[in-house]
Chains A and B, each alone.
Chain A
Amino acid sequence: MFGTGHFIRASLAAGAVLAAGAVAAQDFSGQTLVVGTWGGDIERLLKEHAAAPLEAATGAKVEFLLGGSGDRMSKIYAERQNPTMDATFQNIYEAPQLLADGLVVPPDPGSDMYKSVWEGMNEGCYAMSLVGLGIAYSKDLVSEPPEWADMWNPDYKGMIGMAPYPSSEGGGLLGVAARLEGTDEHDADAAFAKVAELGAPALVYTSLEEVFALMEAGEVAMAPMISGYVLAGLKEFPGIGFSFPTDPGPVLIRDMVCQVADSPNPELAEMFIGYALSAETQKAYAEEIYFGPTNSTVELSDAAAADTINSPDEVASLLQLDWSWLIEQRSDWTERWNKEILAQ
């Protein structure tokens, strides 16, 4: 069948090729594009699929600035008068704030790359990948893939691992807790009271390995975690499982790619973002690290499709939080998290 969907995909692919041709006509030799992102697999994939073709097409150099997204937020605010970073990868918890403060270039609805992304995903910046907040669990301690409510089983009190707050994971857990109480994240009292019932976290984790090691040792039963990282790491930890709960569903979390406002190399930054959002890069993200593509033209292998969020239907089944509102609560909720969750 060669239906409307295929026609749109073919048009977008043709647009990308034309854009690449236009890029090749320009020479940016001697210029260095600075891109802020996470290290490890993400850096490797971006080097292979975005930086290398951009360097070949333009003669420019791409330099990666590695670290956490919070560090990049700090850098962008500190350098707001004179930015040194051109493009940056942030999470959905941060991108709308950057746009609200005028520190990133708004996504252009008329651009091909904007249109290549699933509708409604470009919030603050361009949506780079889709992941869901689900539950990583110890197979020894939890017999079946758990639902969210199972975390509140008294047998597991004090055995739940949590990410530092503020974070997408922390905001997601509060949103889920509120839903379990029949309300939503706007009801902060209900959300915090419900999360507090879990007891003090068994571990405030900063890496997958420390959570998984403690799960295999029987010290941590479950932890709300982001699907991509966990699914990519499960091969090395056979005692760990990952559940996409259904009531409510996993929390939709997006990584975003942003063009820093008034950056030294705006054209290169836009081109880099184009390569990052290309079907090739997004397919590699999905096949290798289980980050679902936002590019609607990507076609995945059955294995990758099974473990990633890769269609509007799947996105619709996920729990979508009011991230803009959550971001506004960042300071107050951090204080509440410190007092009501950590200090138990």
Chain B
Amino acid sequence: MLAAKSARGLVAPAVLLTAGVFLAPFLLLLAMSLWSQPPGSLMLDVTPTGEHYRRITTDSYYMTGLARTIWLSLATTAICAALALPLAWWIVRRAGRFRGLVLAVVLIPMVCGALLPTLGIVNLIGPLGVLNGTLKSLGLIDRSWKLLGTQAGILIGLVHAFLPLMVLPLVAAMDRLPRDAEGAAMSLGARRRAVWTRIILPLCAPGLLAGSALVFCATLTAFVTPLILGQGKIPTFATMAYQQASLVLDWPFASALAVVMLAILAAIGALGWAIRQALPGAAR
């Protein structure tokens, strides 16, 4: 018991620090989402009001933006999963001595921040980019194929940015699979498709779940990629919050948008935890 008390005492400073610098801003965000601005002023009126939440839930522009954000997050998660599964399998089983190099390449978008890779994508898919330049020089198109300012363009950037968040948990999960599980299943007559659907995928489910949660949450709150690749024409919840906070300077409304995003993240976290608990072999 004494050891437990000592441990709590040792942890207390870190807990207090976390509460101060991490939780306090969240509480301020929550409080500010209930404040307002007097007419003709950008100052804050701290009289509580639910007006911003009413505006978000009753204005189709914001609800459509929310639906678009969730759709982009789901699509990004699905595409990342489809790409990451074979890639992670190849890294674990086939890359051999190149494994470290391949993992480093996969990780590049994560370690150099969101801005540089996104600007790189602009140079690839922009009106004057590599893709359009090639198609024009081949005489296949006269005017540029518009990918910037479209959902397709944003999806390309989001998948590029967040693929590592799916690959890494899958590599960790596949690393733990017994090397002979695949061969054992095939020796008992399972075809390759059945090996994947009945052996590999169920055993990798925790990694897939973790990767999906990470990619979904990162995409939901992504700001730089939708802002640049959307060219201001495809509003997501994060870019709406940015516009309200930095351009309109309506911080209470921007806070309400952020709180809605946080609530969705919390719901996704709870859902992920529930699914994890329901998986075979989950720690209880």
Contacts and interface: CB of A to CB of B under 8 A. Distances in A.
B175 interface: no
Contacts of A201: 232-233
A204 B128 CA distance: 15
B128 A214 contact: yes
Contacts of A70: 246-247, 249
A183 interface: no
B251 to A, nearest CB: 8
Question: How would you classify the secondary structure of chain B's contact residues: helix, strand, loop or mixed?
Answer: loop
B61 A338 contact: yes
Interface string A257-296: 0000000000000000000000000000000000000000
Interface string B56-80: 0001010000000000000000000
A73 B61 contact: no
Interface string B221-256: 000000000011101000000011111111101000
Nearest to A330: B248
Nearest to B253: A331
Nearest to B60: A339
Interface stretch (B37-45, B83-91, B110-118, B184-192): B37-45
Contacts of A204: 149, 231-233
Contact of B247 (A101, A164, A213): A164
A189 B96 CA distance: 65
A249 interface: no
Contacts, number: 69
B239 to A, nearest CB: 10
A192 B251 CA distance: 25
Given A101-B42, A214-B128, A342-B233, A219 B246 contact: no
A82 B233 CA distance: 37
A328 B42 contact: no
Interface string A329-344: 0110011001100110
Nearest to B142: A218
A166 B248 CA distance: 7
B144 interface: yes
B248 A97 contact: no
Contacts of A167: 247
B59, B231, B235 — most chain A CB neighbours (10 Å): B231
Contacts of B249: 70, 73-74, 77, 330
Given A101-B43, A214-B127, A342 B247 contact: no
B143 interface: yes
A177 to B, nearest CB: 19
A18 interface: no
A200 interface: yes
A75 B246 CA distance: 10
Interface in A66-117: 70-71, 73-74, 77, 80, 97, 100-101
Given A164-B232, A334-B248, A213 B128 contact: yes
Interface in A310-344: 328, 330-331, 334-335, 338-339, 342-343
B127 A217 contact: yes
A334 B143 contact: no
A74 B61 CA distance: 25
A166 B247 contact: yes
A260 B39 CA distance: 22
Contact of A74 (B41, B233, B246): B246
Contacts of B127: 214, 217, 219
Contacts of A77: 42-43, 249, 251
A74 B248 contact: no
Contacts of A339: 61
A71 B246 CA distance: 7
Nearest to A166: B247
Nearest to B38: A101
A203 interface: yes
Given A80-B43, A201-B233, A334-B248, 15 more contacts: A71-B246, A74-B249, A100-B40, A101-B41, A203-B231, A204-B231, A213-B128, A214-B127, A214-B128, A217-B128, A219-B128, A330-B248, A335-B59, A338-B61, A338-B235
Interface of B: 39-43, 59, 61, 127-128, 143-144, 149, 231-233, 235, 243-251, 253
7 contacts: A70-B249, A166-B247, A201-B232, A201-B233, A204-B149, A338-B235, A342-B232
